Every structure is written in structure tokens, then in C-alpha cells.
Amino acid sequence: MNIHVVRPDGTWYSRPDITLVRDADRFCLPDDCTGALGCRGRCIRIGKAGKAVEPRFSRRYPDGWAPSVLFYGITADGTPTPLLDRATQVDREFRPFDSLESTEQEAALQALVSISRHLSLRIGDFLIIEREKPAPLGRGDVFESIDIL
């Protein structure tokens, strides 16, 4: 399984699946991180394999969606890094893709088409759309809930 993250500005990157945790729990920073950033997102689960998906066929690929939270560590030189354990938290309960608002559906489908031009999508892959710019978190800060319906 792969995790592909699309930022609000349209750029994207992939996270390793070892960053995924399904049960929201404590998130600890390594000693070499000076701080953390966090943001909420929508996780789209891919239900059909594909490469270079045409926009007219894009609705065939999403299998469902779930709320998610992404964390980034801030390294000593001030750059954010997504490569932390337990840095991708996704709710266990996926909802039907059609239950998303139409604007969010269109954004997800556009992201799916764009990413599929560069790499193959596999069944079970996650496409996470960041809903906001990552915000700084202080020590002891808590995301009360990832449920952002």
C-alpha cells in the first residue's frame, strides 16, 4: 500500500506505509526534532488499480473516504519532514465516496488523475488531500478528534 499526499497548492508526495496508524494515539517526536506541524485531511481509498487515469473514468477508482490527520516533524535546520513513525493517522471507518461534498469529490478526482500520470495506483492505496496548511503544534497540544465531517 502507498500513501500519496496532495497539498493545498496542488503539489504532492508519497509517504511510506510504516507511517500509518489506524488508532489515533499519542504522537511522540524524536529527539532530533525541534517541533511539529499538524493538519487535517480527507483520505480517499483506491478500489481499482490504474495508470494514467482519464478524467472521464476517474469516478471508477475511489472506494471510500475517511478523515485523517498528518503530522510533520521539524528538524534542527527548520525543515519539515513527514518521515516519522505514526505520522499518518486515518480513521478506521470509511464512508462511501459519494457522501463527500461535490467540491471535495472533484478535488479528489482531479488529484487522482494528476498523480496517476506519474505512478501506478494500486488497490488499497490511500490518496490524502490536505484540507489546510500544516499548523505548528506545541508540546502537549492535542488534536481532539480526527472526525471532521
Residues in the chain predicted with pLDDT less than 50, given as ranges, are: 145-149
pLDDT at position 144: 54
Domains of the chain: 3-21+39-69+90-134 (3.90.850.10)
- Work out the burial of residue 119: count CB atoms within 10 Å of its CB; fewer than 13 is exposed, 13-18 middle, 19 or more buried: middle
Tens digit of each residue's pLDDT (9 = 90 or more) over 23-54: 656 666 667 777 788 889 999 999 999 999 99
The pTM score is 0.84
For residue 119, give every residue at least 6 positions away whose Cβ sits within 8 Å of its Cβ, in sequence order, or none.
2, 4, 14, 51
Which amino acid is residue 1, in one-letter code? Answer: M
